[in-house]
Structure 1
Amino acid sequence: QFPEVVAERVVGVALVGTSSGKLGEVSYGLPVVGVNAVRRVLPAVLKVLGQRADLVEKGRRATADLFAGIIKRYSFASRDVDPAVARFAERMIESTPIDVVAEFYPAFQEHEKTEAIERFAQLPVLVLAGDQDLVTPSEHSEAIAGLLPDAELVLVPDAGHLVMLEHPEAVTDRLADLLSRTGAVPAGATVGSYGDTAQPGS
């Protein structure tokens, strides 16, 4: 919306596990029949659930183990993800009220920012994703990089949507490299070379 502000104030851009559009076409790893059914009924279901938030929250607590499995599947690709990290992701996602989810879900379907991506063409850009992300598939990151020929594209192997929690060193090293390209930190900086200025997941 404000390209002049970007030009004046932004020295580098990191786009991690994201998309510039066409999220309505994502299959979430489901077969075609399943994903079509989900697309048909989910908006209405979320709307109803959002109106009965108190009841839904009680149900979420009662089915916590089931939700934990679903959250893990859609957050991580590694089989050996640290249980503490998995629990952190569960708590983070479960703490989002269902009425909030119901309100923001339609925005995913309408999200279309392909033209806006080109505003970053003159800046150092990192485009990074997990290669097995089921929420914003890595093809979406490849599409963004295709619009920004000078961008660094990194697809982290054996990583899902929460790549910054699953492989924090890989993500933070790439962010450190981006910062050094902008001149914000010395060249060659890594995760451990400049203290706590860039924590994994930041």
Structure 2
Amino acid sequence: MTTTTRRKVGIAGALVGAASAGVAAAALAKRYAVGRIRLRHDPEASEPFGELRGRQRTLITSDGKALHVEVDGPEDAPLTIVFCHGYCLSLESWHYQRKDLRENYRVVLWDQRSHGRSQRAGADDSTIDRLGEDLAEVIEEFVPGPCVLVGHSMGGMTIMALADRHPHLFGDKIRAVALIATSAGKLAELTLGLPAMLSKVVHKLAPTTVSMLGKRGSLIDKTRNAGSDIAFLITRYFGFGDSGNVSPTVVDFAESMIRQTPTEVVADFYPALMNHDKLSALHVLDPVPTAILVGDSDWLTPPDHSKAIAAALPKAQLTEVPDTSHLIQLERPGVVNDALRDLVKRVAL
């Protein structure tokens, strides 16, 4: 791999929150930085991340893909909460919310196609609209009564695609919605905290670079573990806020989900995210209680994107959480859990 190729891989890795072994970094400085973070007191060190389990199910979608689904909580609960995870994550990213809500509510979690334990799909079937169809089929199969939809990042976009294609579900079947750290469009205009000129260069290079990553995905995946300290730092930088109190165990947990997402999948979904535009579909959510949450330090789906959603949904409740970034459900689980409980209380059954 040439020096130019390694630099391109590093840019794309930062954009999607995953790092490859080719990212240029000083090993000593990297180890020092990671070491300092890991030496901090970690109250989450014994948290059973990835160990919560429900009743495991498989859904075969209308286009023949097997989706991994888990149903948790009491089967006879009058309300189901459906969780839709984000890009390069899995249903495990809802660890704290599942733990908090499953005692009183029926909870449905699913791995989006090509993520987690769900079946891989090709590039042509890796679209936000297709994810919306998948969600419609999950609801039809596993939600017998009224439900609340919760979506983080790409999961929020999935809910918007559902609203665009199945508006009749909102109001009777779907009683409330939570949109967490997400966007209705214009992600291609993100600055990622970079100066304007540098941001333009990155966005110009990104599509070609990500496409190149996809074509070399199997080779890159073999070397990603070698860059785990770099990946830890990138995940910490892009995924979490500046308070300095984020658990290194939580960062490791998030980074492991990202690392387990194949590079080809990262590349397949990247164009769909950049081309996502569902602002015109948001009015479908207006009749149901809607909560919008975003961290004020989110660089991947910045607060302006949540504010644009709120402007289209004047009855929605917007919460901007200080010193918090993109992985808000892991970084500020108490805030997110409280918001979801408040939302559920607004649901008329």
TM-score by length of 1: 0.88
Q: Contact conserved, 2:289 with 2:343, CA < 8 A, in 1?
A: yes
Question: 1:170 & 1:5 partners in 2: Cα distance?
Answer: 28
1:63 and 2:227 matched? yes
**Residue 6 of structure 1: how far off its partner (Å):** 2.1
Partner of 2:185: 21
SS in 1 for 2:185: coil
1:24-43 to 2 correspondences below 5 Å: 24-43=188-207
CA distances 1:30-49 after superposition (whole Å, capped 9, x unpaired): 11122112111111111112
Partner of 2:342: 177
Partner of 2:276: 111
Partner of 2:38: none
Question: 1:8 & 1:80 partners in 2: Cα distance?
Answer: 41
Question: 1:113 & 1:52 partners in 2: Cα distance?
Answer: 31
Partner of 1:87: 252
**Residue 134 of structure 1: how far off its partner (Å):** 0.4
1:128 and 2:297 matched? no
TM-score by length of 2: 0.51
1:47 and 2:230 matched? no
CA distances 1:45-81 after superposition (whole Å, capped 9, x unpaired): 1111211112101232222211211111110003110
1:180-195 to 2 correspondences below 5 Å: 180-183=345-348
Report the count of equivalent residues.
184
1:72 and 2:258 matched? no
Query: Which 5+ residue runs of structure 1 have no aligned equivalent?
Result: 185-202
Question: 2:314 & 2:212 partners in 1: Cα distance?
Answer: 44
SS in 2 for 1:30: coil
- Name the % identity: 41
Q: Which has the higher contact order (CA 8 A, sep 6+)?
A: 1
SS in 2 for 1:127: strand
Query: Which 5+ residue runs of structure 2 have no aligned equivalent?
Result: 1-164
Partner of 1:5: 169
CA distances 1:111-158 after superposition (whole Å, capped 9, x unpaired): 000011111111101011111100000111111111111111101111
The alignment's C-alpha RMSD in Å is 1.1
Q: Which amino acid aligns with 1:72?
A: R
* Superposition misfits of 4+ residues, deviation over 6 angstroms: none
Q: Which amino acid aligns with 1:163?
A: I
Q: Which amino acid aligns with 1:181?
A: R
Question: 1:80 & 1:41 partners in 2: Cα distance?
Answer: 34
Question: 1:105 & 1:43 partners in 2: Cα distance?
Answer: 8
Q: 1:76 to 1:124 in 2, by over 3 A?
A: same
SS in 1 for 2:346: helix
